[in-house]
Amino acid sequence: MPFTIIRQNITKMKVDAVVNSANTNLQMGGGVCGAIFKSAGVQQLQAACNALAPIKTGEAVITPGFNLHAKYIIHAAGPVYRHWSIEQNEALLRAAYLSALQLAVEHNCQSIAFPLISSGIYGYPQDAALQIASSVIQAFIADHELDVYLVVFDKVAFIMSKHLFGEVTSYINEHYVQEYQAQHPRLFDPERTLPDRDQSPRARAIKSQGKKFEREQESLPFDIDDLVNNLDKSFSARLLHLIDAKGKTDTEVYKGANIDRRLFSKIRSESYTPSKKTVLALAISLGLTLSETHDLLQRAGYALSHSRKFDVIVEYFIISGKHNIFEINEVLFEYGEPLLGS
């Protein structure tokens, strides 16, 4: 059931169904529609479409995939954007996505790939089209087991919320160590130590905390048998404890983490350690605080680092209390980082 934004040519997707951004007459057009017709085989696909045409805006029909990797092509008719009829535009675009998703489920599809419907020659503003696509897909997969891909051919077509982008960019600029080092190498000279009075209160506090930790470590008796016999709870044990503590069901957790049910079953076992991005996806789904996230990561053998842009972006959302994994993935996609979840 994961929902993934991917930069790819939709005709190359190996899924059960690809969605064609169709016109109501189901005739071969330009853009995504033209590419799908050419890859599937123009004559055979057009003949199949002619038998089903016409359809109404907001409706969808299904044909074989012919020469595509996909078994099916679902033709969804989105609206031509009219700025004086925004509510009707949105209702029709939502209907087009929902009709396509329902057809996929009716034909036992396990995976489906969408373009950003109506955002090409039909003129739908790309940021609004993305928000509608994302909200319809999120709501649908909450109740269905279906892998959904939103395929963006190039990054220019992907426009994120300017307000959110500004907030995240500001946080990255403040916390991303590598970028800051490149701009201010003198401040990171290992031979140069700033006196305490030149350091920020936060820096002095961290330094003091570090010295306290060193003193505590020096005073502890070192016994390897004690350490081995008193290990912390395993990752899976801690995860199950957090699920109970947060009052969530397994289904809520793996869907909120944008991961597959089969992967979640593996994670529950003592013998499987998930990837770092999957651990972070689970932390987001559980609504963990930053300290709780650090603890969960540590039990899987990972840590957050300010030298990785991916880590800084996820940390921003955790600190901000924003736990919508699809919103986080939109930002990660914008920055060219791996997405959270499966």
CA-nearest of 252, 250, 295, 259 to 277 is: 259
d(CA 161, CA 250): 31
The end-to-end CA distance of the chain, in Å, is 9
Tally of CB atoms within 10 A around 185: 9
Q: How many CA atoms lie within 13 A of 156 on its CB side?
A: 1
Q: CATH 3.40.220.10 spans which residues of the chain?
A: 3-157
Q: What CATH number labels 3-157? A: 3.40.220.10
Which pair of structure tokens corresponds to residue 200?
């920020």
Average pLDDT over residues 81-104: 95
pLDDT confidence of 162, banded at 50, 70, 90? low
Average pLDDT over residues 181-202: 49
Record the pTM: 0.73
Of the chain, the percentage scoring pLDDT greater than 90 comes to: 55
User: For the chain, what is the mean pLDDT?
Assistant: 84
Point out the least confidently predicted range of 81-85, 171-175, 294-298: 171-175
Could you tell me which residue, 84 or 20, shows the higher pLDDT?
A: 20
Does the pLDDT at position 328 exceed 80?
yes
**Bridge partners (DSSP) listed for residue 148:** 3, 112
Does the pLDDT at position 256 exceed 80?
yes
20-30 per-position pLDDT tens digit = 999 999 999 98
